[in-house]
Amino acid sequence: MPDGSSIEIDIRIASSAWRAALPNPAAAVRRAAIAALKAELPPKAKTSLSILLTDDAEMRKLNAGWRAKDKPTNVLSFPAENAVDPARPPAWLGDVALGLATCQREAREQKKALADHVTHLTVHGVLHLLGYDHMDDEQAEAMEPLETDILAAMGIGDPYKPAASRKPKAAKPKKQAVKKKTAKKKVAARQKPAAKRKRTK
């Protein structure tokens, strides 16, 4: 999957503010989604997903409806499957939604470039579609290093570190190195029911 040609990503920009905030928001989230899929799926994998770029009002509605939390959030994931076998991904993975104002506020507070933060949240959301979660320490220990490695390959520093020490680490030469490190932990991360796996923050 070197160019993502076997992956269909439907991107809908529901808020025009996204175009004012980033030069090409659709291209940015597409690149991030492909990077996440490339890290986990075989080269000839075929699948699809959608990404919604919206405002905080819509994110508040989605968060209230799906997570019973009446407030906006940065990213939400809606997996189509309870469990995903990366070797044989489903034709449809699910949906990811991002809220601009929350992303902007977090980027300012965490001293990150907005583009980098949106890239991270997109990677994060797509990994949720693939079955990853961070409901407990074991799951987080499988998911967060993978996010960091994917972002490092894109030239983005570790999002979980303070700004002063956020330089990107050297990308691992082979994705197998990442998988061997987290293989056992990934099993637990993929065994949560779908209702719990919709939690993304």
Whole-number Å distance between alpha carbons of 3 and 64: 36
In the chain, DSSP assigns E strands to 7-13, 47-54, 75-79, 94-99
Nearest to 134 by CA among 168, 101, 159: 159
- Look at residue 54 in the predicted model and tell me its pLDDT: 99
Nearest to 165 by CA among 108, 102, 106, 111: 111
pLDDT in tens, the chain (201 residues): 445 458 999 999 999 999 999 999 999 999 999 999 999 999 989 999 999 999 999 999 999 999 999 999 999 999 999 889 999 999 999 999 999 999 999 999 999 999 999 999 999 999 999 999 988 889 999 999 999 999 999 999 999 998 877 776 665 554 444 443 444 344 444 444 333 334 445
Backbone angles phi, psi at 93, to 5 degrees: -85, -35
What does the longest C-alpha to C-alpha distance in the chain come to?
43
Is residue 114 within 8 A of residue 22, CB to CB? The reply is yes
The yes/no answer on whether domain 7-197 falls in CATH 3.40.390.30 is yes
Whole-number Å distance between alpha carbons of 185 and 132: 10
pTM of the shown model: 0.82
Q: What DSSP letter does each residue of 127-180 carry, written as one string?
A: HHHTT---SSHHHHHHHHHHHHHHHHHTT---TTS-GGG-PPPPPPS-HHHHHH
Q: Which tokens in the block code for residue 24?
A: 């090409």
Nearest to 143 by CA among 162, 166, 127, 159: 127
- Look at residue 201 in the predicted model and tell me its pLDDT: 52
What amino acid occupies position 132?
Y
Helix (H) or strand (E) segment spanning residue 33: helix 25-40
Backbone angles phi, psi at 11, to 5 degrees: -115, 125
Backbone angles phi, psi at 168, to 5 degrees: -65, 135
Domain boundaries along the sequence of the chain: 7-197
SS3 13: strand
Q: Which tokens in the block code for residue 39?
A: 């890290």
